[in-house]
Amino acid sequence: MSDLPDCNVLFERAALAQERLISLKSEYILPEPYGEYFRKEAGFLLDGTYDDLLPGAYDKAYVNPVYAVSLFGEEIGRMLSFLAYELTAVIPFKAEGEQRLEDRTILIELLLEVYTAFQAACEIGEPGGRPDDEFISGILNILKSFITDYTDVTVVGRIRDILDPSRDFAKKIIMESDLSDISYLDRFGEYVSDDTRRLARFIASLPEEDIQSMADTFTSGFITGFAVTGKDISKKKTVNIRYNLGFERLVKASIENFAKEGLDVTIYRRPLHAAVRSGLSRIGYYGDLVNEQMDYDHREDNALFMDRTFVERKIEVTRAAYEELKELAAVFAGPAVMDRFGMKEFIPVNHNESYSLSEKQSRLQTELTARSAEIQNEYIHGDERSFTIISYPVPEIGERFEEIFRETVNINTLPYKQYQTMQQCIIEQLEKGEYVEIKGKGENHTDMRVCLHHAVDITKQAIFENCVADVNIPVGEVFTSPVLKGTDGVLHVSRVYINGLVFKELSFTFRDGYVTDYSCSNFENEDENRRYIEDNILHHHETLPMGEFAIGTNTTAYVMAKKYGIFDKLPILIAEKTGPHFAVGDTCYSREEELHTYNPDGRELVAKDNEHTAEYRKTDPLKAYYHCHTDITLPYEELGEIASVDSVGNRYEIIRDGRFAVPGAVELNIPLDDYGI
């Protein structure tokens, strides 16, 4: 499996495709509105910009499935809208020049192939009015064949981007540009808003010692992650940095820090081809979101091609790619993620014209995710890699952006030793019980019972992890993997952001640790609300177990959110530290159950499995893991009580009426008291 095809052949293909596009732009062979579609898309491939995709242009854009279906009918309209969305990748591919020439060429050739099929149909009298079923089937086969046949380009390219530091388009921009001149942002080929330009100017204005301190926090978190989990980082040679444009000066300092530790860096772009996209996931680097409704409308475009043939082809290609790149995979250390928060709220609109996965396709997608993860884990062993994640606000958060940014930096560098001591007191109280009760107050109707693992020797074994600021910055939580049997009740939160989407009046019902019911109030139609949760939290699983129960202790972060009125804008990374939270999906120790890890007090962590993983992870890993882990945080102000309860009913209070009640941890209330919460 070679990285690139024969260069001469590729250049010839690219030149012919470009020449044909130029002529297509002025052809009037097809009847309207088909002719105009192909002329405009040819023009977009030649000269298009992100302006053509912005919300103001979206109503009359072919990439809008509502508009396309109104012109061409449901079947052809959906397919031509899919094609238009796929072609938007040409803009960033152009920016990368010859390195992405094949990616760009195959997209141009796809448009030309579909155009040729329309021409042929016109020669025999179709499409005139509504295209017949044979013609529709033919166009569908062209698109499906393209997605499946070119996985050796799209899927292989994605895997190589992750592992190979020589794929250094973005890294070169970061390391070689004058970052005080923010025009460098335009070289990435991403959409860059005024907000991101303001962010880059602000980062450029910070003193060098501030940048270095922030980079040190970020990179030391990653390095420490290996140390605290007993993993040998000396075996590793590469780390992946994921971030959003605007933070390049900080990223550059982080690259230099990693280099001092003997680690090279990969920096790869968000997924562009349909074969490697997954819902709304944008793992990689990217600029601003051109049009969130557009991305939302196309989040399940894989419904066009998700079948057994595609699944098996992608699995085959994925395994072959990892086998070819196994030496790079073996030295890959994991991701270091620089997240952002503070963007304006996006409330999506559901459109029936968009593609939607069927029940059968959802099962296939779940299977594909699981099998792909298993292959990745064979070559990048979960028990040998780590990660870190940190988050900063962007100017879109409001007029007090610079104040919020500086307070966030402060939160990211709180004294972890002090928290470690207070959290140990909380853990000791929690471990007295067999289960924990969590109850909301006021309009919050949370009423949960979470069952705990049993420690054979509590002097040597720990049920809750004392989590300070290493991989998961900022400091501030204790967490465990619950026992599923007996973990029952209702979790409710009035408003929460999850993966960039807002959920209103989100509620889950659990029975023996599994989700049995769920609802929210985002849409008037209850079916739409359930589908919203299924797509973005359950990730097409019929149910998920509770993979984590935790208590966030970072009251300083909570006060910051209240002070600036940004609680609903906090990323889950910070939000999870500002109250108790519950994760649905895999445990925090997924694929690391056999590792011996210890709390700072020397006790070994024993609550790593639950009944589901314990039953299947050694015999059927595909069944053991769900490949998702979504945190849902209950804020202090909606919290009535958290108490640990032992076998005879004795209660050991952790939080009462939104305040910590554990001796030795009451100092956590000082920020709340000072702010008058």
- Concatenating the DSSP letter of every residue in 159-213 gives HHHHH-TT--HHHHHHHHS-TTSGGGGGGG-S---HHHHHHHHHHHHS-HHHHHH
CA dist 135 and 120 (Å) reads 10
For residues 575 and 411, the answer to whether their CB atoms sit within 8 Å is no
Q: Give the span between the Cα atoms of 500 and 573, in whole angstroms.
A: 12
Q: Which of 126-140, 311-325, 383-397, 426-440 has the lowest mean pLDDT?
A: 126-140
Q: Compute CA distances 211 → 215, 250, 265, 373, 644, whole Å.
A: 6, 6, 18, 35, 43
Q: Is the pLDDT of residue 179 over 60?
A: yes
Which among 234, 226, 336, 217 is positioned nearest to 597, based on CA atoms? 226
On average, the pLDDT of the chain sits at 93
Kind plus residue range of the DSSP H or E element containing 220: helix 208-228
Distance of CA 513 to the CA centre of its chain: 25
Question: How far is 359 from 368, CA to CA, in rounded Å?
Answer: 14
Sequence spans of domains, the chain: 7-149, 165-389, 414-675
Tokens representing 396? 């879109």
Residue 450 has pLDDT above 70, yes or no: yes
Which two structure tokens, joined as six digits, stand for 209? 């010692």
Q: What is the pLDDT of residues 619-677, one digit of tens each?
A: 988 889 998 899 999 988 899 999 999 999 999 999 999 899 999 999 999 998 888 77
What CATH number was assigned to the domain covering residues 165-389?
3.40.1830
Q: How far apart are CA 143 and CA 405, in angstroms?
A: 45
Average pLDDT in the 338-346 region?
90
**∠491-494-499 over CA atoms, to 5°?**
85
As a whole number of angstroms, the distance between CA 162 and CA 259 comes to 18
Average pLDDT over residues 92-120: 96
**Token reading at 360:** 């059968």
> What band does 1 get if pLDDT is binned at 50, 70 and 90?
very low
What is the tens place of the pLDDT at every residue in 251-302?
999 999 999 999 999 999 999 999 999 988 899 999 999 999 999 999 999 9
Range from 184-193, 406-415, 539-548 that averages highest in pLDDT: 184-193
State what percent of residues in the chain have pLDDT above 90.
Answer: 81
User: Is pLDDT of 509 > 90?
Assistant: yes
Average pLDDT over residues 171-192: 98
Question: Both tokens of residue 630?
Answer: 């979504």
- As a whole-number percent, the residues of the chain with pLDDT over 70 amount to 98
Between 601 and 88, residue with greater pLDDT: 88
pLDDT of residue 583: 95
Q: From residue 116, give the alpha-carbon distance in Å to each of 56, 95, 120.
A: 31, 28, 6
Per-residue pLDDT, averaged over 581-604, amounts to 90
Per-residue pLDDT band at 2 (split at 50, 70, 90): very low
pLDDT given for residue 70 in this prediction: 97
pTM: 0.88
| Alpha carbon distance 20, 46 (integer Å) | 11
pLDDT tens digits, 21-48 = 999 999 999 999 999 999 999 999 999 9
Cβ partners under 8 Å of residue 375, min gap 6: 315, 318, 319, 322
* pLDDT over 80 (residue 469): no
DSSP string spanning 359-404?
Answer: HHHHHHHHHHHHHHHHHHHHHS-GGG---EEEEEE-GGG-TTHHHH
pLDDT of residue 20: 97
Q: Once rounded to an integer, what is the mean pLDDT over residues 101-115?
A: 98
CA distance 80 to 73: 10
pLDDT at 66: 98
Over 60: is that where the pLDDT of 125 sits? no
The pLDDT of residue 347:
85
Cα separation, 561 vs 96, whole angstroms: 39
Cα four-point dihedral sign 499, 505, 510, 516? negative
Label residue 470 by pLDDT band (50, 70, 90).
low
